[in-house]
Amino acid sequence: MIEFDNVSMRFGDLSVLEHLTLTLDERRVAVVGANGSGKSTFARLLNGLITPTEGTVKIDGLSTKADARAIRRKVGFVFQNPDNQIVYPLVEEDIAFGLKNLKLPKAEIATRVDAVLARYGMETLRQRSAHLLSGGQKQMLAISSVLVMEPDYVVFDEPTTLLDLRNKRRVAKAIAALPQTAIVVSHDLDFLTDFERVLVFEAGQIVCDAPPSQALPFYRNLMAAEDMGNV
* 103-125 pLDDT tens trace: 899 999 999 999 999 999 999 99
What does the H/E/C string look like for the chain? CEEEEEEEEEECCEEEEEEEEEEECCCEEEEEECCCCCHHHHHHHCCCCCCCCEEEEEECCEECCCCHHHHHHHEEEECCCHHHCCCCCEHHHHHHHHHHHCCCCHHHHHHHHHHHHHHCCCHHHCCCEHHHCCHHHHHHHHHHHHHCCCCCEEEEECCCCCCCHHHHHHHHHHHHCCCCEEEEECCCHHHHCCCCEEEEEECCEEEEEECHHHHHHHHHHHHHHHHHHCC
Is the per-residue pLDDT at 25 higher than 60? yes
pLDDT score, position 224: 87
Is the per-residue pLDDT at 95 higher than 90? yes
pLDDT score, position 230: 59
pLDDT score, position 227: 61
For residues 61-71, give the mean pLDDT.
93
Give the percent of the chain with pLDDT over 70.
98
Q: In the chain, what are the domain boundaries?
A: 1-80+158-166+183-220, 81-152
Q: How confident is the model at residue 57 (pLDDT cuts 50, 70, 90)?
A: very high
pLDDT score, position 60: 96
| Superfamily name and number for 1-80+158-166+183-220 | P-loop containing nucleotide triphosphate hydrolases (3.40.50.300)
pLDDT score, position 161: 83
Q: What mean pLDDT is reported for the chain?
A: 92
Q: How confident is the model at residue 229 (pLDDT cuts 50, 70, 90)?
A: low
pLDDT score, position 37: 92
Is the per-residue pLDDT at 131 higher than 90? no
Is the per-residue pLDDT at 183 higher than 90? yes
pLDDT score, position 80: 87
